[in-house]
Amino acid sequence: MHRRQFLAAASLPLLLAALPARAASDLLRIRDLYNKDLSFSPYAKAHEGRTVAVRGYMAPPLKAQAKFFVLTSRPMAVCPFCESEAEWPDDILVVYTDDIIDVVPFNVPIEVEGGLELGTYTDTQIGFVSRVRITSGSFEKM
Amino acid sequence: MKLFIAALVAGATAASACAQAQDALPQAGSEWFKLGQDTLAANLAKKPNTRRARNIILFTADGQGVGTNYAVRLFSGQQKGLLGSEYVQPQEAFPHLALVKTYTTNGQTPDSAPTAGAMNTGVKQKNGMINIDPSVDHGDCAGVTGHELKTFAEIVSGEGRSVGVISTARLTHATPAGVYAKTANRNWEDDSKLPEGCTAQKDIAAQLFDQVKAGVIDIALGGGRRHFIPKDAKGEEGKSGKRTDGRNIIKEIQDLGGQYAWNEDTFKALDLDSDKPVIGLFEASHMKYETDRTGEPSLAEMTAAAIKKLSKNGNGFFLDIEAGRVDHANHDGNGYRMMTDGKAFADAIALADELTDDADTLIIVTADHEHSIAFNGYCGRGSPVNGLCYDVDGKGVKHAAEPLKGDDGKPYTVVGYLNGVGSVLKKQDDGTYSGSRPDVTEAQAEDKDYVQQALIPLSSETHSGEDVAIYAKGPWSQLFDGTVEQNYIFHVMNYAAHNGE
């Protein structure tokens, strides 16, 4: 089903005008950024620095008024920083936003759009280490 | 013995006579009729094995009750190009079967701790506790003294048998811990989790070390490295430990002469002919799901390695093998990973069966509990069990082209859950929960990250108290029959290990 039709059928009051004309199945999944050995995929390398759209779920944010969140492949009910790193799947994606995020429940699928950044980066404010990020991200419920 | 043979001949003759008398039936030429006759003949030919079991292998797929097992069967068959329902998993070809009541002394719905304890000690226990008699309160560290139960591993190792434990979950998780640990709280996986002042028992990882040192455990393979190393140390994969007592239990096992593996390469390099203990810790936490697995051995590979090592002992062995992540995938409401890990479990069973002799090895395949999984609709044959439910085709065998729809006009998947993260009720801004069922396409449903729709919103899908099955073969496997209590499994293992020719 075309994404516009899907949204219309679901009667969700979203910003349809801002949506890219793309079938839902064309959306990138987090796993598309990795090879099975967790090295970056050819797609990820080819799109480094470019704008990509990824589907996933917003993990519960660390704090209110945050300008970042963790995108997960499947719903994760726990806050990423409240548990050891070992509790977390390897295929998560940190999303940095320009504005304070509107929190979406952890089990509502979202589409994130932003710049793809690869390479290890330590967030100086929260100490979170990420291997891959979305910068200037925006997101919508699917 | 003569009497036994005479009885068999009489049985076979009766079956033959019955078959002849039924030849006139109009359905006698049907393949289904012939299959039924074949099954009858096979059952009439079953011979009870009353030899003493030299080896005992207990397989547990965590959370793979009768319903989950059904999903794995269809998935495995459909992966082979079959319609699915007709597929027979390796364990389903075993000759003896029972249903198991999994409740605990205080739980109508169990968790994996007391269920493991029941299988390993012969008595039911309290939820959240392992191998402590149920007079002790959950979490009462001081109360455990004098209430520790003796495990099957301790019994048979004391008689000269070897013991192994394998899990795709953390080795300190409930099911594998049931083989070697005694704890008032299943969450005390390392010393940092023990309550202050708790001296009556050690943490679970420390208990594994003690059991290795005592010669009870000869090989242990699984995940959970973080519980064996200090919090200020990092494991081979760069993840921190959890221990606050400074112990590096991996090094301590190596100091005993033991071998350690942490990835696929070091696993392959293990000397399985050595009589020194082996510990494999392939992840900081749980091992990977089968579909995501990279750089670490499969459950079947770990099973083969353990059998190879344990078989060196002429007195025999006890090997406990858990597919620990069938349960986790169900908790996540993710049918695909539940089914792929269930298939990996079946592959391990097939290999264990191949590597052992039915004459002297009792193999038991079971689960500790079921989940809130449920199955939708009057699906036609071949409806993808990880996809949508399609209508029955009245003119044929395989399902019709159109998916069945709910009264809301939307298709539904074959698998669903009664609760969990896939709930169609979503949290609203005002804190209330509401919503409607999302639409779903075949491609979306078959995606390996798809989360099946559920009803009650919960952060983790729950177990259920529904029965699970036992499939068994080998010495005294005929003792599994009817509907039994879970703790009965110990009694059959213990009887089979000590009785017979």
Beta-carbon count within 10 A of B39 CB = 10
Average pLDDT over residues B189-204: 97
| Alpha carbon of B501: minimum distance to chain A alpha carbons (Å) | 49
Residues B423 and B479 occupy one common structural domain: no
B8 confidence band (pLDDT: 50, 70, 90): very low
Residues B183 and B332 occupy one common structural domain: yes
Residue B243 lies in a domain: yes
Residue of A1, A72, A74 to mutate for B, most B C-beta atoms under 10 A? A74
Q: Does A126 touch chain B (CB under 8 A)?
A: no
The answer to whether B96 is a known ligand-binding residue is no
Q: Does A120 touch chain B (CB under 8 A)?
A: no
pLDDT at A14: 35
Residues B455 and B475 occupy one common structural domain: no
What is the share, in percent, of chain B residues with pLDDT greater than 70? 95
Residue B41 lies in a domain: no
Range of the domain at B312: 55-372+463-498
How far apart are alpha carbons B86 and B426 in whole angstroms?
38
Residues B89 and B209 occupy one common structural domain: yes
pLDDT at A38: 83
Q: Which is nearest to B217 in space by CA: B262, B261, B253, B264? A: B253
B115 has pLDDT over 90? yes
Residue B19 lies in a domain: no
* Look-up of token digits 């090592």: B309
Asked if B441's CB is within 8 angstroms of A77's CB, the reply is no
What Å distances lie between residue B483 and B100, B274, B445, CA to CA? Answer: 6, 42, 36
Q: Which is nearest to A54 in space by CA: A110, A131, A130? A: A110
pLDDT at B21: 61
DSSP E strands, B90-214: 96-101, 162-170
Tokens of B166: 């394998």
Residue B24 lies in a domain: no
What's the helix, strand, coil split of chain A in %, to 5?
A: 20, 35, 45
pLDDT at A83: 54
Beta-carbon count within 10 A of A59 CB = 20
Residues B454 and B484 occupy one common structural domain: no
pLDDT at B91: 98
Q: How many domains does chain B have?
A: 2
| Alpha carbon of B440: minimum distance to chain A alpha carbons (Å) | 9
Residue B112 is a catalytic residue: yes
Give B164-194 pLDDT, tens digit per residue.
Answer: 999 999 999 999 999 999 999 999 999 999 9
How far apart are alpha carbons B135 and B147 in whole angstroms?
8
At a CB cut-off of 8 Å and minimum separation 6, what does B299 contact? B166, B168, B290, B321, B323, B344, B345, B347, B348
Residues B266 and B390 occupy one common structural domain: no
ipTM: 0.82
Residues B328 and B202 occupy one common structural domain: yes
Residue B25 lies in a domain: no
DSSP of B209-238, one letter per residue? HHHHHTTS-SEEEEE-GGGGSBTTSB-TTS
Average confidence (pLDDT) per 10 residues, chain A, 142 residues: 35 36 61 88 93 94 85 83 59 92 94 94 83 94 90
The answer to whether B369 is a known ligand-binding residue is yes
| Alpha carbon of B51: minimum distance to chain A alpha carbons (Å) | 46
Q: Which is nearest to B371 in space by CA: B42, B97, B66, B143? A: B66
Average pLDDT over residues B320-329: 97
Average pLDDT over residues B333-347: 98
CATH code linked to domain A27-141: 2.40.50.140
Domain with residue B283: its CATH number is 3.40.720.10
Q: Is the CB of residue B114 less than 8 Å from the CB of residue B124?
A: yes
Residues B207 and B306 occupy one common structural domain: yes
Residues B244 and B273 occupy one common structural domain: yes
Name the strand (E) or helix (H) holding B39: helix B31-44
How far apart are alpha carbons B350 and B337 in whole angstroms?
20
Asked if B226's CB is within 8 angstroms of A6's CB, the reply is no
DSSP state of B137: P
Residue B39 lies in a domain: no
Average pLDDT over residues B98-125: 98
